[in-house]
């Protein structure tokens, strides 16, 4: 919708993985969201703009290749005087949850197969059929882990015995999911070195929020909002917990620091990266966060928003189900996206109060039983 609204011809490919996983694992949603086909129809009715939807599985190599070599997928775009091959592919087709990947060997395997197979199929399809296409891949800040030195944007110059070389910044994922993201970075880095592909890797931190420019047009255009342990990210979870008088679930000491961004900025970052593509033979890496917070700081902010609305919010430190540092150094650089024009929406008290009011308005949909299941690392 963000790209369509800005005049791009957009083709979306999805296999409903996330929805099916939410059903299978019975995760609950803050509000219902129409499926992709109905949302594309709604978008057309509301704006007159067309988004082509293709339902299929990108782990199927021939299916992925068909997206690039079948003209029929682009007939409609061609009629708009556009390209027969996509200028850009935004690769979001990965299983995104760390807890999902740690439930057991089966879900770990599904995460590895889905994430690496889809990335490999895309890389080969672009190399063979559309080598000028710019791949924008969603990476994660969690690839770096929490090292005791500053985190650079993707690369580190290493001096060793008097000689120097630039390498990918050392990676150490904290879950099978994060480890697949390290492996797909490596795969695409190989494609860049070997075939001169052009790739941007966006190292995204945990996202919060659900309001976008499009959801203002019609609330049915809002994105999925998970608050459960598997697909919910921390700030969204805390806000929902506060809305139903559930003590905020701080894992362990709560000193875990991460880089966050508002959902409004996610597509802004992708768009700026699209406007200024990576060069051929370049793997360009941006740290896609706008500010850092500890879990405790987010809990305190949620408590403060509750107080502003006359709600008492309790904080509970529970035994950490994850294996992670709970008190650590964290100093990532995040300048690259600002340099290409991203203007961040920072986390304000107004945002927190507004988000809590929205969660309260959906209170009847919130299920306490899905908030904590204790998936152990
Ligand atoms: N945490 C709590 N209480 C909770 C949930 C989480 O204290 O109820 C803590 C976690 O232990 C962790 C931090 O909050 O230290 C962030 O957890 P999260 O569940 O919000 O995020 P995470 O599992 O790391 O994964 C999310 C997205 C993933 C993305 C990643 C960016 O699901 O797709 O890649 O954020 S990052 O964290 O930078 O790796």
Residue 151 is predicted with a pLDDT of 98
Per residue in 141-181, pLDDT (tens digit) is: 999 999 999 999 999 999 999 999 999 999 999 999 999 99
pTM: 0.95
Residue nearest to atom 15 of ligand 1 (CA): 256
Domains annotated for the chain, with CATH where assigned, are: 2-370 (3.40.50.720)
Distance 250 CA to ligand 1 centre (A): 11
* Helix 295-308 and helix 234-243, axial crossing angle in degrees, nearest 10: 30
Residue nearest to atom 10 of ligand 1 (CA): 251
How many CB atoms within 10 Å of residue 348? Answer: 11
Q: Is the pLDDT of residue 271 over 90?
A: yes
Distance 7 CA to ligand 1 centre (A): 34
Segment 342-355 mean pLDDT: 97
Distance 205 CA to ligand 1 centre (A): 8
Element (H, E) at 202: strand 198-204
Cβ proximity of 256 and 174 under 8 Å? no
pLDDT band at 79 (very low <50, low <70, confident <90, very high): low
Kind of pairing between the strands at 315-318 and 282-288: unpaired
Distance 229 CA to ligand 1 centre (A): 10
Residue 73 is predicted with a pLDDT of 60
pLDDT band at 70 (very low <50, low <70, confident <90, very high): low
349 by DSSP, 3-state: which?
helix
Cβ of 141 less than 6 Å from ligand 1: yes
Q: What is the DSSP letter of 303?
A: H
Tokens in use for 270? 């992708």
Taking the C-alpha atoms of residue 182 and residue 152, their distance in angstroms, rounded to an integer, is 15
Cβ of 287 less than 6 Å from ligand 1: no
Closest ligand 1 atom number to CA of residue 238:
8
Tokens in use for 102? 């740690």
Per residue in 182-236, pLDDT (tens digit) is: 999 999 999 999 999 999 999 999 999 999 999 999 999 999 999 999 999 999 9
Burial of 24 (0-12, 13-18, 19+ CB in 10 A): exposed
Convert 272-307 to b/e letters by CB count within 10 Å (16 or more is b): bbbeebbeeeebbbbbbbbebbbbbebbbbbbebbe
Residue nearest to atom 12 of ligand 1 (CA): 256
Residue nearest to atom 33 of ligand 1 (CA): 96
Segment 275-279 mean pLDDT: 98
Residue 81 is predicted with a pLDDT of 44
Q: Hey, which residues are catalytic here?
A: 140, 177, 181
3-state percent breakdown (helix, strand, coil) of the chain, nearest 5: 45, 20, 40
Q: What is the DSSP letter of 175?
A: S
Cβ proximity of 57 and 63 under 8 Å? yes
Residue 77 is predicted with a pLDDT of 52
Q: Is the pLDDT of residue 35 over 50?
A: yes
């Amino acid at each position: 919708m963000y790209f369509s609204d800005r005049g791009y011809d957009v083709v979306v490919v999805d296999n409903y993985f996330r929805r099916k996983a939410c059903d299978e694992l019975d995760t609950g949603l803050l509000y219902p969201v129409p499926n992709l086909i109905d949302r594309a129809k709604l978008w057309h009715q509301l704006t007159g703009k067309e988004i082509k939807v293709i339902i299929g599985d990108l782990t199927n190599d021939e299916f992925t290749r068909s997206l690039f070599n079948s003209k029929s997928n682009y007939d409609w775009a061609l009629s708009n005087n556009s390209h027969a091959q996509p200028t850009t592919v935004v690769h979001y087709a990965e299983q995104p949850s760390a807890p999902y990947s740690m439930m057991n060997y089966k879900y770990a395997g599904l995460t590895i197969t889905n994430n690496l197979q889809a990335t490999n199929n895309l890389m080969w399809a672009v190399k063979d059929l559309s080598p000028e296409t710019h791949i924008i891949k969603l990476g994660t800040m969690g690839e770096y882990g929490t090292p005791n030195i500053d985190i650079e944007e993707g690369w580190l110059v290493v001096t060793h015995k008097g000689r120097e070389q630039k390498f990918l910044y050392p990676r150490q994922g904290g879950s099978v999911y994060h480890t697949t993201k390290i492996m797909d970075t490596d795969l695409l880095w190989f494609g860049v070195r070997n075939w001169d592909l052009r790739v941007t890797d966006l190292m995204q931190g945990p996202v919060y929020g659900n309001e976008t420019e499009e959801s203002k047009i019609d609330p049915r255009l809002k994105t999925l909002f998970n608050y459960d342990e598997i697909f919910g990210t921390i700030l969204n979870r805390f806000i929902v917990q506060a809305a139903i008088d559930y003590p905020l679930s701080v894992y362990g000491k709560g000193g875990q620091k991460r880089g966050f961004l508002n959902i409004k900025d996610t597509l802004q970052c992708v768009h700026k990266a699209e406007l200024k593509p990576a060069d051929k033979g370049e793997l360009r890496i941006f740290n896609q966060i706008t500010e850092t917070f500890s879990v405790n700081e987010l809990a305190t902010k949620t408590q403060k928003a509750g107080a502003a609305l006359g709600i008492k919010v309790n904080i509970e430190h529970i035994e950490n189900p994850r294996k992670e540092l709970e008190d650590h150094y964290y100093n990532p650089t995040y300048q690259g996206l600002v340099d290409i024009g991203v203007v961040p929406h920072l986390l304000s008290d107004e945002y927190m109060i507004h988000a809590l009011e929205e969660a309260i308005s959906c209170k009847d949909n919130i299920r306490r039983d899905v908030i904590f299941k204790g998936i152990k690392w």
